[in-house]
Each structure stands twice: as structure tokens, then as C-alpha cells.
A = this chain, B = another copy of it.
Amino acid sequence: MLEECKALSNETRLAILDWLKDPAVHFPGAEGADAGVCVGLIQRRAGCSISTISAHLAILQRAGFLRATRRGQWIHYRRDEDRIRAFTERLHRDL
């Protein structure tokens, strides 16, 4: 619970999760956005450095909120809805 709450305690990371709820809307031009969005697009949307975005995505992944899929030189990130739901339910039950 602690790690997840920490992962959510940052504006940019909350925004990333929100954008990835509906990639087609927030990342126009991303082909097959259902399969995830690449780091570069997220970085451009967030407007900060690529290294910072990479670190943010790693934190969200470690917390279980995102899943990464490598396709050649590209890495696509998308939400892990099951784990997100599991977390909110656990919070509801335990908090």
C-alpha cells in the first residue's frame, strides 16, 4: 500500500495514468494506441525531460499500475487495469 501511495504522490504520474485511460484522445496519431503508448509520446505530452519520464514510468510500473511491452527499439506502456482495481479495492477495504 505504501509503494502505491508513493507512486500516486506526484502530479506528473497522476497525469500519465489519466492520459493512458484514453490514449486515443490524449495521444492523437499514436497508432494502435490500445497496445500502449511509447515513452517519447508520453514525454512530449508531459513536457519534461525523457529521463524524468522514464523514471516516472518505472515507478508506476514497479507499483503495478503500468505494464511495459518492448517492440524492437520501442517500449509501449499501458495501464494494468486489474492491478489498479485491486489496489483501489484494497484501499477501500483496509483504509
Task: Point out residues on A near B: beta carbons under 8 Å.
Answer: 1-2, 5-6, 8-11, 14, 17, 84, 87-89, 91-92, 95
> Can you add 18 more A-B contacts, CB < 8 Å, to A2-B14, A84-B95?
A1-B8, A2-B8, A2-B9, A2-B10, A2-B11, A5-B5, A5-B6, A5-B8, A5-B9, A8-B95, A87-B95, A88-B88, A88-B91, A88-B92, A88-B95, A89-B92, A91-B91, A92-B92
24 contacts between A and B (CB under 8 A): A1-B8, A1-B14, A2-B8, A2-B9, A2-B10, A2-B11, A2-B14, A5-B5, A5-B6, A5-B8, A5-B9, A6-B9, A8-B95, A9-B9, A17-B95, A84-B95, A87-B95, A88-B88, A88-B91, A88-B92, A88-B95, A89-B92, A91-B91, A92-B92
